Amino acid sequence: MLREELNPYELGLGRNPANYVSLSPLSFIRRTAQVYPNYLSVVDGDRRYTWAETYARCRRLASALKQAGVSRGDTVAIMAPNVTAMMEAHFGVPMIGAVLNTLNVRLDAETLAFMLSHGEAKVLITDREFSPVITNALGLLAHKPLIIDIDDPQYEGGELLGETDYEAFIGTGDPEFSWELPADEWQAITLSYTSGTTGNPKGVVYHHRGAYLNAVGNVLAWNMQAHPVYLWTLPMFHCNGWCFPWTIAAVAGTHVCLRRVEAKAIFGAIRDHGVTHFSGAPIVLNAMINAPEDVKVRVTDRVIQCTTGGAAPPAAVIEGLESMGMNVTQVYGLTEVYGPSISCAWNREWDNLTTAERARIKAQQGVRYHMQEDLMVADVDTLQPCPKDGKTIGEVFIRGNLVMKGYLKNSTATEEAFAGGWFHTGDLGVLHPNGYLQIKDRSKDIVISGGENISTIEVEDVLYRHPAVLEAAVVARPDEKWGETPCAFVTLRPGVITTETALISFCREHMAHFKAPKAVVFGPLPKTSTGKVQKFLLREYAKDLNK
Q: Nearest CA to 318 among 292, 349, 344?
A: 344
Q: How far is CA 512 from CA 277, 314, 357, 458, 506, in A?
A: 39, 20, 20, 11, 11
8 A C-beta contact, residue 372 and residue 217: yes
| Alpha-carbon torsion, ordered 375, 381, 384, 390, to 10 deg | -60
CA angle, residues 92, 96, 99, in degrees to nearest 5 = 75
**What is d(CA 443, CA 93) in angstroms, rounded to the nearest whole number?**
37
- Residue 405 sits at φ, ψ, to 5 deg, of -60, -40
Cβ atoms within 10 Å, residue 276: 21
Closest CB to a copy of itself among 228 and 309?
228
What minimum distance in Å lies between the beta carbon of 192 and a copy of itself?
Answer: 13
| 224 versus 447: smaller Cβ distance to a copy of itself | 224
What is the b/e burial string over 43-76, where b = at least 16 CB atoms within 10 angstroms of the residue's CB? bbeeeebbbbbbbbbbbbbbbbbbebebeeebbb
Give the nearest distance from C-beta 109 to a copy of itself in angstroms. 24
Q: Where do runs of H (alpha helix) occur along 443-495?
A: 456-465
Give the nearest distance from C-beta 7 to a copy of itself in angstroms: 4
- CB of 410: closest distance to a copy of itself in angstroms? 9
CA-based R_g, the chain, Å: 24
CB of 294 or CB of 349, closer to a copy of itself = 349
Per the CB < 8 A criterion, the answer to whether 483 and 450 are in contact is: yes
Q: Shortest distance, CB of residue 351 to a copy of itself, whole angstroms?
A: 13
Minimum CB distance to a copy of itself, residue 155 (Å): 32
Q: How far is the CB of 365 from a copy of itself (least distance, A)?
A: 13
Q: Is 255 or 368 the residue whose CB approaches a copy of itself more closely? A: 368
Please say which residue, 427 or 471, places its beta carbon nearer to a copy of itself. 427
Q: Which is nearer to a copy of itself, 170 or 408 (CB)?
A: 408
Is residue 304 a contact partner of residue 335, using CB atoms and an 8 Å limit? no
512-532 burial: b if 16+ Cβ within 10 Å, else e: eeebbbbebbeeebeeeebeb
| C-alpha to C-alpha distance for 74 and 401, rounded to whole angstroms | 24
Please say whether the beta carbons of 73 and 191 come within 8 A. Answer: no
Q: Whole-number minimum distance, CB 96 to a copy of itself, in Å?
A: 10
Residue-by-residue DSSP string for 171-204 = HTS-TT------SSTTSEEEEEE---SSSS--EE
Which residues pair with residue 527 across a beta bridge?
A: 533
User: Minimum CB separation from a copy of itself for residue 545, in Å?
Assistant: 40
- Residue among 184, 209, 180 at smallest CA distance from 15: 184
Nearer to a copy of itself, 10 or 163 (CB): 10
CB nearer to a copy of itself: give 3 or 481. 3
Residue 136 CB, shortest distance to a copy of itself, in Å, is 26
**The residue count for the chain:** 547
| Comparison of 81 and 217: residue with beta carbon closer to a copy of itself | 217
Q: Which is nearer to a copy of itself, 8 or 157 (CB)?
A: 8
Alpha-helical regions (H) of 36-183: 51-67, 84-95, 109-118, 131-139, 166-171
Q: CA-to-CA distance for 489 and 520, rounded, in angstroms?
A: 6
Taking the least distance from each CB to a copy of itself, the nearer of 291 and 345 is: 345
Minimum CB separation from a copy of itself for residue 71, in Å? 4
